[in-house]
Amino acid sequence: MRSVRKFCQPLLVMSRGLFVAPIEFAAADVSPRQLYNAPINGGGGPGKIFMSEHHGYMKALKCRECGREYPLAANHVCEFDFGPLEVVYDYERIKKSLTKAAVQSRPQTMWRYRELLPVANDPTVGLQVGFTPLVKADRLARKLGLRELWIKNDTVNYPTLSFKDRVVSVALSRSKELGFDTVACASTGNLANSVSANAASAGLKSYVFIPHDLEQGKILNSLIYGAKVIGIKGHYDEVNRLCAEIAGKFAWAFVNVNMRPYYAEGSKSMAYEIAEQYGWRIPRHTVVPMASGSLLTKIQKGYQEFIKLGLVSETKYAVHGAQATGCSPISAAQKAGLDFFKPVKPNTIAKSLAIGTPADGFYALRVMRDTGAAAEDVTDDEIRDAIKLLAETEGIFAETAGGVTVGVARKLIASGKIPRDDSAVLCVTGNGLKTLDAVDGYLGKPREIKPSLREFEALLAQEEKANV
């Protein structure tokens, strides 16, 4: 408490309990971002670690580019080089608390790894999220010609059927800790759904900003929760740019703008669950879809943290990246051996991955290089084929991003980048019911008959004939 006051005092208008109330700052005619942006120790260089019992296991926010540290506020960008800020933890303390036995004694949700998630107190939003099934996919493995294959099935994540519920439960829990009453996001759809639903259940107001031409399912799946849905006439990168400007003006918790350091950490829970469900081991290959590239970098971070904490043994593994050919700035760069990417204008049915200027692209490329991994991309037709293949072999209906992951895995196996006698986990991150438009017209139609046994038998006979 004392250290919170120390950092906030010159800025404080009013404090509510432990946490600063950002809405009240707005009245002071200064945006909260400005207030929050002050680096620790006046920004003269990497400062002292910001520490307080009241921040749980978090120590500070730290710039990934220059290492300058900032208070644990609603702030995502280093004011010196615009580098992204990331949460720093007290791993020594975490190690004492987060043992295998402790984890296994807790409820089966993503919050069983609570020490590694950036909230100061117990979470308040999304307590049921995560611990989705890790499915052994033998039939798909045979089709793809791989010895062993697993699907991390986030198509059934709670409550909105995509991995975004992980990041949103963290972001909204932290937003409440920081005193916000309105949350917002820029989204390609799944994030909007999750913010809308989780905000509704938490009693928070929400604004979600989406490209206006999203799949109908994803639009309705936000509106139903009473969120204010704003369709922007442009592609996601333009939505993102607008939201960066809006976030500078309004005192809202933008989950993927000013709350991004907390939000992004939620993705690590997918890696923890994979490692635990795989028998406290890291799989040799993990295939991850890439939009901004954030999930891939957080899967890697999750594995690294488990190694650091001694929860799994160090082993050789690769985290491969999957994109749609119609929006493949990261995979194109990886395949060309570059450590930077060229932004693109997206044109793909995988709208949830359609980010042409991927903010974590540099770091995703680095992870793939460091783990000896590959990237690949697939066309719209290959995406549809892969969605169908996953459904027909494993009974899992994934959205387009899942088709991208399965399609890319198929290519990596065929090219030998995932050797046939190895084992792989595919991250399937969203539910096919949300992107019905993508497969509509490609699956044939039900055949209609009168309610007559004779007509049905005739239909079967016809079918047998056709199959001969």
The residue ranges that bind another protein (CB under 8 A) are: 31, 33-34, 37, 65, 76-84, 164, 185-188, 190-191, 236-238, 240-241, 243-245, 248, 256-257, 260, 264, 291-295, 340, 342-343, 345, 352-353, 355, 357-360, 362
List, in sequence order, every residue forming a beta bridge with 208; answer none if it has no partner: 185, 229
> Cα–Cα distance between 165 and 110 in angstroms, integer?
10
Check if the beta carbon of residue 268 is closer than 8 Å to that of residue 288: no
Number of Cβ atoms within 10 Å of the Cβ of 362? 18
Residue 83 beta carbon to another protein: minimum distance, rounded to whole angstroms: 5
| Residue type at position 405 | T
Q: Is the dihedral of CA 360, 414, 302, 47 positive or negative?
A: negative
Query: Of the two residues 78 and 427, which places its CB atom closer to another protein in the complex?
Result: 78
Query: Of the two residues 241 and 388, which places its CB atom closer to another protein in the complex?
Result: 241
> Cα–Cα distance between 325 and 71 in angstroms, integer?
40
Task: Locate 179 and state its tokens.
Answer: 């005193």
Residue 79 beta carbon to another protein: minimum distance, rounded to whole angstroms: 4
Residue 402 beta carbon to another protein: minimum distance, rounded to whole angstroms: 14
Q: Is 67 left (phi over 0), alpha (psi -120 to 50) or beta?
A: left
Residue 360 beta carbon to another protein: minimum distance, rounded to whole angstroms: 6
Residue 359 beta carbon to another protein: minimum distance, rounded to whole angstroms: 4
Residue 103 beta carbon to another protein: minimum distance, rounded to whole angstroms: 27
> Cα–Cα distance between 410 and 407 in angstroms, integer?
5
| Residue type at position 462 | Q
Query: Of the two residues 238 and 385, which places its CB atom closer to another protein in the complex?
Result: 238
Alpha helices in 81-215 (DSSP H): 91-97, 100-104, 138-144, 164-177, 190-202
Query: Of the two residues 173 and 294, which places its CB atom closer to another protein in the complex?
Result: 294
| Residue type at position 86 | E
Query: Of the two residues 248 and 419, which places its CB atom closer to another protein in the complex?
Result: 248
Query: Of the two residues 173 and 357, which places its CB atom closer to another protein in the complex?
Result: 357
